[in-house]
């Protein structure tokens, strides 16, 4: 395939408009040919469909789809796309459950389809330099603090509080996607506390203790109730000093004022679409389940603590 990849975007919410559409427009590897949503309207005069089934029945030439729907409905949509022979880009989290993602991997492999589980925070500017620096250090402790105001970042998104919506682990999985990329040893959940509002099915805050295979402690603090300054920080203590990755991976500080190597990526979503084009052209897939596996384990091992109802 040498012509632009003909792409349809499914699920036209905030993330699609804010991140996906601009990244697609700026990447010559792709040509947006349609959008799909239960709500909304056509984009740039392109064909618009109310469902993936309508798109599939239309006869429109499509090579790939980017799925930006809530995770609870993503598996069935992805299976329809795979059955049509379309490559699939999954917004994070890639599914409502780990088993769903594994099933999609198996289906894509059987069909010879490229499947991409996109972890956008891994494409932040500081992540790869942090990974390279930590690879040569002994880690003594790590702390993950992800605190944001859900009313600002997820206004009106009721699906996030439903089963499979992840609650505070929706942003928390961004932190885990970075941590599983930069930390040199695998880590696992030892214990967790999940604060669940009495009117919700998913947590509004969580505290999780991890330990890696070398015995190093990793503590994570997530909270959707943060007002004022927001925190998206990972601090890693090592034998050579402390590394701080702030602003969701966008700002890296090393001990002694060292200047990290630069990155060729310009923004997270442009990096994601460059990677998606790469695997489509190569006929491969890129699906790392480590972040969603850790979230599943936090729910498995977590103690649920009832807290006040959440009212937006």
The pLDDT of residue 262 is 47
Whether residue 142 contacts residue 183, with contact meaning beta carbons closer than 8 Å, is answered with yes
The pLDDT of residue 2 is 77
How many angstroms separate the CA atoms of 69 and 78, rounded? Answer: 11
- Total structural domains in the chain? 2
For residues 223 and 192, state if they share a domain.
Answer: yes
Residue 201 has pLDDT above 50, yes or no: yes
Q: What is the mean pLDDT of residues 156-171?
A: 95
For residues 169 and 249, state if they share a domain.
Answer: yes
Pick 257 or 20 by higher pLDDT.
20
Q: Please provide the average confidence, as pLDDT, over all residues in the chain.
A: 94
Per-residue pLDDT tens over the stretch 254-311: 998 765 544 444 579 999 999 999 999 999 999 999 999 999 999 999 999 999 999 9
Task: Please say if 14 is a catalytic residue.
Answer: no
* CATH number of the domain residue 239 falls in: 3.30.360.10
How many angstroms separate the CA atoms of 202 and 299, rounded? Answer: 10
What whole-number percentage of the chain has pLDDT above 70? 97
Catalytic residue among 14, 84, 92, 247: 92
Ranges of H-type helices in the chain:
14-15, 21-25, 52-58, 74-83, 98-111, 127-134, 150-153, 169-182, 268-282, 290-301
For residues 211 and 105, state if they share a domain.
Answer: no
Among all chains, which residue has been given the structure tokens 């702390």?
143
Q: Of 86, 117, 148, which closes a domain?
A: 117
* CATH number of the domain residue 45 falls in: 3.40.50.720
């Amino acid at each position: 395939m040498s012509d632009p990849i003909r792409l349809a975007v499914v699920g036209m919410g905030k993330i699609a408009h804010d991140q996906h559409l601009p990244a697609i427009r700026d990447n010559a590897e792709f040509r947006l040919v349609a959008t799909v949503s239960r709500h909304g309207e056509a984009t740039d005069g392109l064909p618009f469909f109310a469902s993936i089934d309508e798109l599939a029945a239309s006869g429109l030439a499509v090579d790939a789809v980017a799925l930006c729907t809530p995770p609870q409905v993503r598996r069935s949509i992805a299976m329809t796309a795979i059955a049509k022979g379309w490559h699939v880009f999954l917004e994070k989290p890639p599914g409502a459950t780990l088993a769903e993602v594994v099933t999609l991997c198996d289906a894509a492999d059987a069909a010879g389809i490229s499947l991409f589980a996109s972890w956008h925070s891994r494409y932040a500017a500081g992540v790869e330099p942090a990974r390279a620096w930590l690879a040569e250090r002994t880690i003594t402790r790590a702390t993950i603090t992800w605190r944001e105001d859900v009313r600002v970042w997820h206004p009106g998104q009721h699906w996030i509080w439903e089963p499979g919506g992840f609650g505070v682990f929706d942003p928390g999985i961004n932190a885990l996607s970075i941590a599983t990329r930069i930390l040199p040893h695998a880590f696992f959940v030892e214990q967790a506390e999940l604060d669940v509002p009495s009117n919700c099915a998913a947590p509004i805050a969580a505290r999780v203790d991890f330990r890696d295979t070398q015995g190093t402690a990793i503590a994570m603090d997530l909270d959707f109730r943060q007002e004022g300054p927001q925190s998206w920080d990972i601090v890693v203590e090592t034998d050579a000093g402390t590394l701080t990755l702030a602003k969701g991976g966008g700002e890296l500080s090393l001990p002694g004022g060292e200047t990290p190597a630069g990155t060729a990526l310009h923004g997270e979503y442009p990096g994601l679409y460059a990677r998606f084009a790469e695997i489509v052209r190569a006929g491969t897939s890129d699906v790392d389940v480590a972040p969603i596996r850790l979230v599943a384990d936090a729910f498995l091992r977590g103690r649920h603590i009832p807290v006040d109802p959440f009212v937006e």
